[in-house]
Amino acid sequence: MFLLLGFSDLSLAAQASLFVFFLLSYLLSVIGNSLIMLAVTFSPRLRSPMYFFLRILSFSELVIITSTVPKALHSFLWVGRTISFTGCATQFLFFISAAAYECAILTVMAFDRYMAICHPLRYTSVMTVSFCYQVTFCIFAFTIVNAMIEIILIFRLPYCRSHLIAHFFCDVPPMMSIACANTFNAQVYLLTLSISVILVPSILIFCSYIKILTSIFLLRSAACRHKAFVTCGSHLVSVIIYFGTCMFVHLRLDNPFSSYEDRMLALSYCVIIPTINPLIYSLKNNEMKEAIRKLHLKIVLFKLEVA
């Protein structure tokens, strides 16, 4: 058994505020990401690759926040702070798989924008339906293999020093900090995996956006430039926040675990990003707003028919 300490070192008032924050964030994330998934699924106008990958992104964010926040909410009540070895490994499996999946999907979304803006004539021939499904399957297989390797590396370590996890979920840094064995080799392997999952995609996204911004500035029409900035700006904001915090937490070797810093950074990619991404991708997207409005109308009409 492990004991998730969560935010027990904070005052009761701070813990109560965080409990409300976690609860509201979880509800907003579930509602927002579910609406995006339903709108893309049932709207005939949202059939482009961009919305195909946006639906997958929303699903991965639901998995991330659902695998971490409900247990964190339970731990705020003190009675639910224990987690079994199997439960910890299961939580880690879902979290790390969805997090790596999101990194890959954000990369593919950057490639989609790159093709749409820099090579519009080739877009339909490259971003086909079969290509989208093949990429999705390859990403899924890669993330599952990556997650299984990380689980083997972390959960085969002996935890005889302490069973207290100074975090609100089972993550790499707090687990490594309580292992009573030399973790240097495991850290090297995990760093290599993190580079392939976090650093390489971020470099690819950065290169894509250099090309995209160059092409946008060459557009003669101000309206076209504005539309391109709006389309890519939301994705870029999400990428910067998500990859920035993930790099700081996971791309470090032999760096002492900081409970407070790691928990605050984990809040960004476990709670804040899944909550604000539906707003980022829908507020300035007229097609998405119209699809959500029609979806809401269909739900209301269905309820009236049932009644």
**Six-digit token pair at 175?**
């687990």
pLDDT value at residue 281: 78
DSSP string computed for the chain: -EEE-TTTTS-HHHHHHHHHHHHHHHHHHHHHHHHHHHHHHH-TT--SHHHHHHHHHHHHHHHHHHHHHHHHHHHHTSTT-EE-HHHHHHHHHHHHHHHHHHHHHHHHHHHHHHHHHH-HHHHHHHS-HHHHHHHHHHHHHHHHHHHHHHHHHHHTS---S--EESSSS--HHHHHHT-SS--HHHHHHHHHHHIIIIIHHHHHHHHHHHHHHHHHHT-S-HHHHHHHHHHHHHHHHHHHHHHHHHHHHHS-SS----HHHHHHHHHIIIIIHHHHHHHHHHHT-HHHHHHHHHHHHHHHHHHHHH-
Q: How far apart are the first and last CA of the chain?
A: 49
What share of the chain in percent tops pLDDT 70?
A: 90
pLDDT for res 252: 66
As a whole number, the mean pLDDT across the chain is 85
Structure-model confidence comparison of residues 108 and 251, the more confident one: 108
With cut-offs at 50, 70 and 90, classify the pLDDT of residue 24: very high
Q: Are 71 and 169 in contact (CB under 8 A)?
A: yes
- Predicted confidence at residue 9, as pLDDT, reads 82
Q: The tokens of 266 are what? A: 């984990």
Per the structure, the count of domains in the chain is 1
Greatest mean pLDDT range, 4-8, 31-35, 155-159: 31-35
Q: Are 273 and 32 in contact (CB under 8 A)?
A: no
**C-alpha–C-alpha distance, residues 143 and 276, integer Å:** 24
- Return the CATH number at 95: 1.20.1070.10
- DSSP string over 234-255: HHHHHHHHHHHHHHHHHS-SS-
CA contacts within 13 A on the Cβ side of 118: 17
Do 67 and 88 meet the contact criterion of CB atoms below 8 Å apart?
no
pLDDT 10s digits, 41-70? 888 888 889 899 999 999 999 999 999 999
**What is the pLDDT averaged over residues 233-260?**
73
Question: Is the pLDDT assigned to residue 80 strictly greater than 70?
Answer: no
229 Cβ contact list (under 8 Å, min separation 6): 216
Cβ-proximal residues to 47 (8 Å cutoff; 6+ apart), any chain: none
Q: So what's the pLDDT on residue 283?
A: 65
- Encoded tokens for 32: 């927002």
Report the range of poorest mean pLDDT among 29-33, 107-111, 162-166. 162-166
Please state, in angstroms and as integers, the Cα–Cα distance from residue 151 to each residue in 38, 91, 170, 274, following that order.
33, 11, 11, 24
Q: Is the pLDDT of residue 193 over 70?
A: yes
Q: Residue 25: count other Cβ atoms within 10 Å of its Cβ.
A: 19
| Residue 49 near residue 132 (C-beta atoms within 8 A) | yes
Contact status, residue 71 vs residue 167, Cβ threshold 8 Å: no
pLDDT at 307: 60
Rounded CA separation 108/125 (Å): 16
CA 258 to chain centroid, in Å, comes to 22
Residue 86: domain span: 2-306
Q: What does residue 4 show for φ and ψ, rounded to 5 degrees?
A: -80, 110
Q: 34 with 277: CB under 8 angstroms?
A: no
